[in-house]
Amino acid sequence: MSRTRTAILAALALVAGATGTAAAVVPGDAGITAVPCTVDYKVQNQWDSGFTASVTITNNSAAKTSWSASWAYAGNQKVTSFWSSRITQSGTAVTAANESYNGALATGGSVSFGFNASYSGTNATPTTFKLDGVTCNVDGGGSGPTDPTDPTDPGTPSAKVDNPYAGAKVYVNPEWSAKAAAEPGGTRVSSQPTGVWLDRIAAINGVNGGMSLRQHLDAALAQKGTGQEVVQLVVYDLPGRDCAALASNGELGPTEIDKYKTQFIDPIAAILSDSKYSALRIVTTIEIDSLPNLVTNTGSRATATPACDTMLANGNYVKGVGYALNKLGAIPNVYNYIDAGHHGWLGWDDNFAPSATLFKQAATAEGATVDDVAGFITNTANYSALKENNFTINDSVNGTSVRQSKWVDWNRYVDEQSYAQAFRNQLVSVGFRSDIGMLIDTSRNGWGGSARPAGPGASTSVDTYVDGGRYDRRIHIGNWCNQSGAGLGERPKASPATGIDAYVWMKPPGESDGSSSAISNDEGKGFDRMCDPTYTGNARNGNSLSGALPNAPLSGHWFSAQFQQLMANAYPAL
């Protein structure tokens, strides 16, 4: 007999006779009477000072339009962040109330929510739970792989859909959520879904005491409940990674393609293939930045680097992306999205069509086919404004086209959404499926606050017109590191526009792009002058100041000052 099954037998003796409900038989336990509600409380992940828990409530009484669950801790547990409910705590007493979208709870229906909490000493499971003031038992649940109320039960494998985000919740990373919630005002966004970055081999099993890939997937199952759940993974460890920048260099050398395949992609594929996770919709962002570098930073271009020339010559970016698409695309519930730069990188005529052609080459390398590609993602970890409403590419000032302004510089696109929609059409034209969708990372492109222009700039010249009206306040569109003045953008949302599968926060807000000075580390990350606020630039940013924030830590590390700035400048405002 399982521990939870023992608990249900003990709890029934306490509550069945006091509730006034009609007797019923609990399936699988003949002769045991039912109770008005059952609660399944599970600790999914625990470390020295905190834990992640999931709670599933089943309502056996009259249908409800709203609900409130409560319990008390015996120790010093303190809830720090939460999702799929609104949790308050007074002393040891905790109350979880429904969100606006999950208040309805039918007779026999279930609802799941989760939270992070801190503790010291012991972390004992609460012994008494209530739903709307009525005492519940602890649900036996989990007795078999078809138990519909068990949030960790994979249940029926998720059928392939056109847009994985449609009708689904998206995984809230407990580690990021806890960091965000610990910041003043951070609880306003700590329940937003963000990407999980697999940026080195060690990340598969967890680094520095952090969660492993399996632990993230287990936590996603806990959050899933009986609905659909998307998990967002960034697969990011190509050999010779990001050849035009140093802050995001990786651990693998230019020739280590076999190590990439066998020690990085193969283990990830093995985990994602586990039938335990077959009911999750797993979205992968495949290798940001590297493929676009082969178009813009090679050959005779002023922006070329020897490292990028090497990666173009050896073909390992193309081979690595193709291998990842092939291995991961073979898993029925995995949706691969290839990184497609951003409009301020690939929007020019010289870059636009060649990039689509290169992506097709990668998507048909190493056994991959276009069927392994669900879509593409733009603006990952970047700052390009979603929509520029104060000017268009077709405007002119005193007979001079906006394309001739210093900011636009002959680009055909002025914002990310118009670029993403146009690039999607280009990708289809070179042979990608007509049902591919685009993702746009809006985690840091809000550009709100007092610096956000209310209308077009002065018509004195095309430059005053564009510079006075643009939302994107960077010094130069080529600046990419910890940008001063940036803000949180549109919140994650499914199907926001034609051809766009979702707005996402793939780059977790508050995680640094790179250190503003050299920092010794064992993560393979170098020091890039573009992260130094005193740097006066290079050909890739028009020899402009970098616009980077000072005192930044290594890429991927928590940067409190940046997170506070992003919240202060959020658009829409928090």
CB-CB contact of 64 with 58 (8 Å):
no
314-to-258, 302, 308, 369 alpha-carbon distances in Å: 13, 21, 10, 21
Q: Is 71 annotated as a binding residue?
A: no
What is the rounded CA–CA span in Å between residue 508 and residue 385?
A: 17
Size of the chain, expressed as the number of residues it contains:
574
Q: What is the pLDDT of residue 179?
A: 95
The residue behind tokens 């690939």 is 346
The helix/strand/coil state of 193 is coil
266 is catalytic: no
pLDDT in tens, the chain (574 residues): 333 333 333 333 333 333 322 222 233 333 333 578 988 888 887 888 888 888 989 888 888 999 999 999 999 999 998 888 999 999 999 999 998 878 888 888 888 888 989 999 889 889 889 999 888 874 333 333 333 334 344 445 667 899 999 999 999 999 999 999 999 999 999 999 999 999 999 999 998 889 999 999 999 999 998 899 999 999 999 999 999 888 777 899 999 999 999 999 999 999 999 999 999 999 999 999 999 999 999 999 988 999 999 999 999 999 999 999 999 999 999 999 999 999 999 999 999 999 999 999 999 999 999 999 999 999 999 999 999 999 999 999 999 999 999 999 999 999 999 999 999 999 999 999 999 999 999 999 999 999 999 999 999 999 999 999 999 999 999 999 999 999 999 999 999 999 999 999 999 999 999 999 999 988 878 888 999 999 998 888 889 999 999 999 998 899 999 999 999 999 999 9
153 is catalytic: no
pTM of the model as a whole: 0.75
Instruction: Name which of 200, 225, 181, 197 is nearest 58 in CA terms.
Output: 225
371 is catalytic: no
Strand extents, DSSP E, 158-264: 168-170, 196-198, 228-235
The region, left, alpha or beta by phi > 0 then psi within -120 to 50, assigned to residue 10 is alpha
Q: What is the pLDDT of residue 22?
A: 27
Q: What is the pLDDT of residue 352?
A: 97
Q: Is 342 annotated as a binding residue?
A: yes
For residue 48, count other CB atoms closer than 10 A to its CB.
8
Helix, strand, coil share (%) of the chain residues, nearest 5:
30, 20, 50
Among the listed residues 153, 237, 289, 415, the single catalytic one is 289
Q: Residue 489 corresponds to which amino acid?
A: G
Domains and CATH numbers, the chain: 3-138 (2.60.40.290), 168-389+412-447+480-515 (3.20.20.40)
Strand extents, DSSP E, 413-482: 437-441
What is the rounded CA–CA span in Å between residue 437 and residue 549?
A: 34
Among the listed residues 242, 463, 472, 501, the single catalytic one is 242
Q: What is the pLDDT of residue 156?
A: 58
Q: Is 407 annotated as a binding residue?
A: no
The region, left, alpha or beta by phi > 0 then psi within -120 to 50, assigned to residue 409 is left
The residue behind tokens 């549109």 is 490
Instruction: Name which of 395, 485, 504, 388 is nearest 441 in CA terms.
Output: 504
> Phi first, then psi: what are they for 482, rounded to 5°?
45, 60
For residue 503, count other CB atoms closer than 10 A to its CB.
25
Q: Is 507 annotated as a binding residue?
A: yes
Q: Is 319 annotated as a binding residue?
A: no
CB-CB contact of 129 with 136 (8 Å):
yes
Q: What is the pLDDT of residue 385?
A: 98
Q: Is 348 annotated as a binding residue?
A: no
Torsion of CA 159, 165, 166, 172, to 10 degrees: 110
The residue behind tokens 């210093």 is 406
Laid out side by side, the sheet with 129-131 consists of 78-83, 110-118, 50-59, 37-46, 134-138, 129-131, 68-72, 93-97, 86-90
What is the rounded CA–CA span in Å between residue 25 and residue 205?
A: 44
Strand extents, DSSP E, 357-514: 375-378, 396-397, 400-401, 437-441, 493-497, 500-504
Residues with Cβ within 8 Å of 452's Cβ and at least 6 positions away in sequence, in order, are 471, 571
What is the rounded CA–CA span in Å between residue 452 and residue 469?
A: 8
Q: Is 511 annotated as a binding residue?
A: yes
Among the listed residues 415, 513, 528, 532, the single catalytic one is 513
Q: Is 176 annotated as a binding residue?
A: no
Q: Which residues pair with 483 in a beta bridge?
A: 548
Instruction: Name which of 320, 396, 406 is nearest 363 in CA terms.
Output: 320
Would you call the peptide bond into 572 cis, given omega within 30 degrees of 0 as the criterion? Answer: yes
